[in-house]
Amino acid sequence: MGKVTVSDGNRPVLLDSRQAMVLVQGLLQGMRPTVSRESWFDGRLVRVHVSNVNFSGQFQNYRACTENLLPVNYDQIRRSRIPFASASASLSDADRALLDNVVTFVLADPSVERVFVDGHSDRLGSRIDNRALSEERANVVADYLKARGVSEDLITVRAHGDQYPVSRRPADNRRTNIRLQREGERPELQQANGYGGDSAEDGPG
């Protein structure tokens, strides 16, 4: 999984976020991650195995604890929607407050590996204009997230125009959806099957 520097003191090994999550995923899968190094005394190889016994339950407790420290938890923030006025791609103060919560959570949870940003429009006007407007809406949201510290590498931006309505009301379809995905989560199979239902929330999978 990588190399780390071993130093003196009470905390000789410190993993970065990626390494920590690789180790966590291994433990959750029943593996036994091993840390190896040469002995200070005679150069022999020393191995320390990290036990996976009872790890899953304790990790879930840890995750629940850390989520309680944040203004929102994963279930509250994993799917978010930014509404837009007709022909507009401007964010309101309420939109920025919601996006700030998304940013706070993503920065605090290193297991979030993908942030999907999907722009949509209503069916008023031409399909070409609607496609461009949905792209502008998605980019406005993505740019806000990046400006607040979310890595560009995490963000996937997609624009769907008027292709995936969720309602017969035009106002409901003028939106940008944000969906978070954690490491180890199976990507959901999504279909766009016309009006209503969660299956059209984020466009194609």
DSSP letter for each residue of 25-82: HHHHTT---EEEEE-TTT--EEEEEPP-TTHHHHHHHHHHHHHHTSSS-HHHHSEEEE
Mean pLDDT, rounded, for 88-95: 97
Mean pLDDT, rounded, for 180-204: 54
Residues 58 and 118 in one domain: no
What pLDDT is stored for residue 201 in this prediction?
47
Smallest Cα–Cα separation from 166: which of 140, 195, 146? 195
What pLDDT is stored for residue 156 in this prediction?
97
Residues 50 and 135 in one domain: no
For residue 82, report the phi and psi dihedrals to the nearest 5 degrees: -105, 115
What pLDDT is stored for residue 11 in this prediction?
66
Report the C-alpha gap between 77 and 109 in whole angstroms.
12
Looking at per-residue confidence, does 55 or 177 come out higher? 177
Report the C-alpha gap between 204 and 88 in whole angstroms.
24
pLDDT in tens, 115-149: 999 999 999 999 999 999 999 999 999 999 999 99
The total number of structural domains that make up the chain: 2
Mean pLDDT, rounded, for 106-115: 91
Residues 110 and 42 in one domain: no
Which residues constitute the domain of residue 28? 17-65
Residues 79 and 27 in one domain: no
Looking at per-residue confidence, does 11 or 194 come out higher? 11
10 located within any domain: no
Looking at per-residue confidence, does 95 or 43 come out higher? 95
107 located within any domain: yes
Looking at per-residue confidence, does 191 or 99 come out higher? 99
Residues 94 and 166 in one domain: yes
pTM for this entry: 0.66
11 located within any domain: no
Residues 87 and 130 in one domain: yes
What pLDDT is stored for residue 189 in this prediction?
42
205 located within any domain: no
What pLDDT is stored for residue 187 in this prediction?
65
180 located within any domain: yes
Residues 24 and 95 in one domain: no
Give residue for tokens 């939109």.
95
Residues 91 and 176 in one domain: yes
Mean pLDDT, rounded, for 155-169: 96
Residues 43 and 80 in one domain: no
